[in-house]
Amino acid sequence: MVKIRLKRLGALKHPRYRLVVMDQRSRRDGRVIEEIGFYDPQKDPAEVRVEEEAALKWLRNGAQPTDTARSLLKKAGVFDKLGAAS
């Protein structure tokens, strides 16, 4: 099964994350199928960038987002466009 989840980057105590599509059996920072966004929780307000077309493509093809990835995609407005396109 394919998942949309976060891949951790950054130094110790200064995390940054990439929103990625990967096989659920892969390790957290393992091999990625495609990078579809970026999340920086250290900034105020937190920075969230998502490639909407890529995210929509994977969601339509059955990729399951983790809870955190789902909330970031909702913040970016991807689920609004997914419902409108159906």
Contacts of 10 (CB under 8 A, 6+ apart): 16
Q: Which of 35, 7, 40 is nearest to 21 (CA)?
A: 35
Query: Can you read off the two tokens belonging to residue 14?
Result: 């200064």
Residue 50 belongs to a domain with what CATH number?
3.30.1320.10
Q: State residue 39's pLDDT score.
A: 96
Per the structure, the count of domains in the chain is 1
Residue 17 sits in which domain range? Answer: 2-85
pLDDT at residue 79, rounded to an integer = 85
pLDDT digits (tens, 9 = 90+) for 17-30: 999 999 999 888 88
Q: Is a pLDDT exceeding 70 seen at residue 64?
A: yes
Average pLDDT, the chain: 91
Residues with Cβ within 8 Å of residue 62, at least 6 apart in sequence: 2
Q: Which residues pair with 11 in a beta bridge?
A: 14
